[in-house]
Structure 1
């Protein structure tokens, strides 16, 4: 739903409310609740309402959609996903040519089978009808009010003041906008023609950024509740796992080539039991991966989690 728009210095800024996008954000939180402690009470409530099958589906589809971050791009690439209510948007996605759906996944070096995609749509309908429909009645007025407040701010102070205020890791410079994520993203103002701004009550502390050829998509965060005294549990697990010399040595040993428990025991000159204990903590923190090769389990470095660690620390302290 398009709430309103501002035109300034050749740039159109649209303020859009997409209920489907907000549902994807909710699913992201449910799939990675340890990182979104501001919603821990909500997660606890929703978990009490869901069947075990639905919980399993959330985790199953989380793996192929990168915790639902990939399918959030549907709302950027297909404007119908923002213009329509959730069920109508899902009906629209059911009719989109499948190569276009996989085009979205291809941007993340992934693909989804047609059968699996139809199962995903079935699950999304089920989750909306049984769970999210009632939640939306509460959060929808909050989102629309916040969009209107941001619209007023943009009209009063200008669009660049508005963009700079959206997140502490956005910086508007004289000729470009810089987004500080796991790496810097820079958008030249001369190339920018369109900015889409939406709102979510779920995705804090993320800085969500969608980029097109001449456009960017930004999400305003709304905090419901106060958990400033808490550290994200997944970040806490990672830092605790790294706070030990043996576990750090294991990470060094398995990079870049994975090793088995026996190999680690020999190279580090410690017992296999001690290695297994250390690997258990590293696995729980998602810092290592494991795969079976014949009779052995091979452990390798989860380089993506390692790469994102400085970003997650910076995200929390800011």
Structure 2
């Protein structure tokens, strides 16, 4: 039987990481519509970036799994005090080791981009949010001392501590026994919402990124990318297409015959599904075949969970309390 309090005292750390916070800010900038709480900040910053910077931002995002591959890369290095330390560690990484993580990226280009982004844009925001991040580290450490079970559902509605297990309710459920883990590290972030981000790149050392609220207003909106996807699948024909294309790829001609529709109607449906990345296409000879993007389809449930986890009423109650 694991004694939760003593286990947490021996195996759990709470760490403020400015470099990781910068990486998560870049994730938000790459898809601001999905991160409603940070949408005003992201839109303002993007308006200040030039076209070359934005183009490189999205190129790196595309080739690094939405910047999360950089989070994996961070798994095996210790705490840094300054953002520049993380950048220099990346610059000092052996070229072969770098290519294992980022086969389609150039190290010098990445490091130069990160340095310029920090100096020109991120440093000011980090100065503003750092007190909240540092305070959160202190508060979470105190909570762990008092009763680690309070972390369950407090850090995130789908983060659970039950019995001798820690559970993450994501697209698939991840469950770990405390006896199988050597450590858990918690990282506060003002950019992570609405995600429940768990880094298990090192399987015995789990890293959890949790949201820290900051004193700023944000619009009560449904993320535009989620709304677009829900609108795309709200049509009966498109929903059937997604189902059928999950099991077999079809070309436009085959779909026309299958659903007894005109070619232009089928093409229009496919165009809508393509715009949301719910279907992927591949040319095979003369024909272009379409298939459902299962990963994107499964992400819908996650995105819905994330939206439902943080209702607007929480925000209203907080404002009443502060007022």
Give the equivalent residue in structure 1 for 2:95. Answer: 98
Distance 2:243 2:181 in 1: 43
Distance 1:309 1:36 in 2: 15
Give the equivalent residue in structure 1 for 2:261. Answer: 270
Structure 1 residues not aligned, in runs of 5+: 1-6, 106-110
1:221 paired to 2:211: yes
Distance 2:280 2:189 in 1: 32
Distance 1:254 1:171 in 2: 35
SS at match of 2:281: strand
- Number of equivalenced pairs: 302
SS at match of 1:74: helix
Residue number among 94, 109, 127 corresponding to 1:119 in the alignment:
109
Shift of 1:235: 1.4
- Superposed CA deviations along residues 226-257 of structure 1, whole A, max 9, x for unmatched, are 55732222111111111111112222343333
After superposition, residues 151-230 of structure 1 pair within 5 angstroms as: 151-155=141-145, 157-162=146-151, 164-211=153-200, 212-224=202-214, 225-227=216-218, 229-230=220-221
Distance 1:146 1:84 in 2: 16
Distance 2:221 2:166 in 1: 31
User: Which 10-residue stretch deviates more, 197-206 or 286-295?
Assistant: 286-295
Residue number among 133, 136, 153 corresponding to 1:146 in the alignment:
136
Structure 1 residues 92 and 152: CA distance shift in structure 2, 3 A = same
Distance 1:98 1:163 in 2: 41
Give the equivalent residue in structure 1 for 2:86. Answer: 89
After superposition, residues 72-83 of structure 1 pair within 5 angstroms as: 72-79=71-78, 82-83=79-80
TM normalised by structure 1 equals: 0.87
Structure 2 residues not aligned, in runs of 5+: 310-323
Q: Is this contact kept in 2: 1:11–1:195, CA < 8 A?
A: no
- Superposed CA deviations along residues 34-88 of structure 1, whole A, max 9, x for unmatched, are 2111111111101111001111111111111111011112332222xx3142223
Q: Is this contact kept in 2: 1:204–1:223, CA < 8 A?
A: no
Shift of 1:199: 0.6
